Chain A
Amino acid sequence: MIYFINTVMPDRKTGVEFAQLKRMKLFRNHNQPAKIITRLFENDGHKNYFNAGLKENEFINLFEWLQGTGSLKYQECTVSDLKFPDGMSTPQKNDDGSYSVFLGEAEMYKVVLWNENDKEHPEQVHEVIEYDFTHHVVKTNIYDVRGFKTQERLHQTDDAPVTDLILNPDGQIVYESFWLFDRAGNIHNSQFIVRNFEGRDYQFNGMKGLTRFFLNQLNLADGQGDIFISDRNENADWGLLNFPSKAYKILYLHNVHSDAIEPMHSTLNWNYQFALNNINKWDAIIASTQKQLDDLTTRFHQTVSVFKVPVGIVPDSQVETDRIPLGDRNKGQIIAVCRIAAEKRLNLLIDAFAIIKRLVPWSHLDFYGNPAGDVQKQLTDQVSKLNLSDSVKFHGYITNVNEVESKAQLFGVTSAMEGFNLAMLEANSNGVPLVSFDVRYGPSEIIQNNVNGYVVPMNDVNAIATSMAELLLDDEKWQRFSTASYENSERFSEDSIWKLWQPVFADAKEKMGE
Chain B
Amino acid sequence: MFFSINGGMSVGRSGVEDAELHRIAMFKRAKAPAKLIFRDFSLTAHHDVLNAGLTDDDFINMFDFFQEAEHVSEKNVRYLDLDFPSDYQLGEAKDNVLPFSKEDQHMFDVTLYPGTEKVESIAFFDIYGNNLRTDWYDWRGFRSFVQYFSRVGEITSEFMYTPSGKRVYESYYAKNSDGQRVNSLLKLDDFQGKDYVFRDLDHLLAFFLDQVNLREGGKNSFLSDRRMVGDYALALMKTDAYKYVYLHNTHSSDKHDQVHGVMTDGYRIALEQYPDKLDGIIVQSQRQKSDLEQRLTTSTPIMVLPSGTIPDELWNEPRIPIKERNADQVISISRRAVEKQIDHMVSAFDIVHKQIPAIQLHVYGYGDPRIVQQIDQQVKELNLGNVVHFDNYVPDLTGILNHARLSVLTSIYEGLAIGVIESLAHGIPVVTYDTNYGPGESVEDGVDGYVVPVGDIEGFANKVVKLMTNPSLLQQFSTAAYERSKRFSESNVWKSWTHEMPQLG
Contact = CB atoms under 8 A, between A and B. Distances in A.
Contacts of B126: 178, 180, 190-191, 205
Interface stretch (A155-163, A256-264, A419-427): A155-163
Interface stretch (A29-37, A78-86, A310-318, A459-467): A78-86
A171 interface: yes
Nearest to B166: A171
Nearest to A83: B195
Interface residues of A, number: 42
A498 to B, nearest CB: 41
A172 interface: yes
Given A180-B126, A200-B84, A193 B132 contact: yes
Nearest to A179: B151
A395 to B, nearest CB: 45
A157 B156 contact: yes
Contacts of B181: 157
B151 A108 contact: no
B interface residue count range (under 10 / 10 to 19 / 20 to 34 / 35 or more) = 35 or more
A369 to B, nearest CB: 40
Interface string A128-140: 0011111010110
A85 B184 CA distance: 16
A512 interface: no
A205 B103 CA distance: 12
A85 B156 contact: no
A183 interface: yes
Given A83-B195, A156-B150, A202-B85, A190 B130 contact: yes
B83 interface: yes
Contact of A132 (B102, B105, B172, B194): B172
B185 interface: yes
Contacts of A162: 148-151, 156
Interface string B164-177: 01010010111110
A167 B446 CA distance: 74
Contacts of A171: 167
B132 A183 contact: no
A182 interface: yes
A187 interface: yes
B127 A205 contact: yes
A304 interface: no
A154 B197 contact: no
Contacts of A200: 83-85
Contacts of B174: 132-134, 136, 157
Contacts of A72: none
A160 B152 CA distance: 12
A132 B84 CA distance: 36
B130 A180 contact: yes
Contacts of B170: 139
Contacts of B239: none
Contact of B199 (A84, A86, A133, A188): A133
B185 A85 contact: no
Contacts of B390: none
A203 B102 contact: yes
B265 interface: no
A398 interface: no
A175 to B, nearest CB: 12
A87 B238 CA distance: 14
A234 interface: no
Which of B102, B149, B151, B196 has the most C-beta atoms of chain A within 10 angstroms of its own C-beta?
A: B151
Contacts of B195: 83-86
Contacts of A172: 165
Interface string B130-155: 10110000000000000011110010
A259 B181 CA distance: 57
Interface in A57-99: 83-87
B504 interface: no
A131 B172 CA distance: 10
A30 B201 CA distance: 65
B497 interface: no
A82 to B, nearest CB: 11
A103 B151 contact: no
A50 interface: no
B133 A176 contact: yes
Interface of chain B, helix or strand or loop or mixed?
A: strand
B157 interface: yes
Nearest to A171: B167
B105 A205 contact: yes
B287 interface: no
B107 interface: yes
Interface in B191-222: 194-197, 199
B151 A160 contact: yes
B124 interface: yes
Contacts of B176: 134
Contact of B151 (A83, A134, A180, A193): A180
Nearest to A88: B197
Contact of A191 (B127, B187, B194): B127
A201 B195 CA distance: 29
A181 B128 CA distance: 8
Interface string A146-158: 0000000011110
B128 A85 contact: no
A199 interface: yes
Nearest to B189: A171
A139 to B, nearest CB: 7
B99 to A, nearest CB: 14
B1 to A, nearest CB: 25
Given A136-B184, A138-B184, A181-B151, A154 B156 contact: yes
Interface in B310-331: none
A85 B149 contact: no
A157 B132 contact: no
A133 B105 CA distance: 39
Interface string B449-489: 00000000000000000000000000000000000000000
Nearest to B181: A157
Contacts of B172: 132, 138-139
Contacts of B197: 85-87, 103, 108
Interface string A192-233: 010000011111010000000000000000000000000000
B128 A199 contact: no
Nearest to A178: B132
Contacts of B85: 200, 202
Contacts of A178: 126, 130, 132
Contacts of A163: 132-133, 148, 156-157
A176 B132 contact: yes
Nearest to A209: B102
Interface string A255-283: 00000000000000000000000000000
Contacts of B102: 203
Contacts of A130: 185
Nearest to A130: B185
Which of B165, B170, B184, B197 has the most C-beta atoms of chain A within 10 angstroms of its own C-beta?
A: B197
Contacts of A183: 128
Contacts of A182: 128
B150 A157 contact: yes
Contacts of B156: 138, 154-157, 162-163
Nearest to B157: A154
Interface string B83-107: 1110000000000000000100101
Q: What 5 A-B pairs come out closest when comparing CB atoms? A: A132-B185, A156-B150, A132-B184, A191-B126, A85-B195
22 contacts: A85-B195, A86-B195, A86-B196, A132-B172, A132-B185, A134-B184, A136-B174, A139-B170, A139-B172, A156-B156, A157-B150, A157-B154, A157-B156, A157-B173, A157-B175, A162-B148, A162-B149, A178-B132, A180-B132, A190-B128, A190-B130, A203-B107
Given A176-B132, A205-B126, 8 more contacts: A83-B195, A87-B196, A138-B184, A155-B156, A178-B132, A190-B126, A190-B130, A191-B126
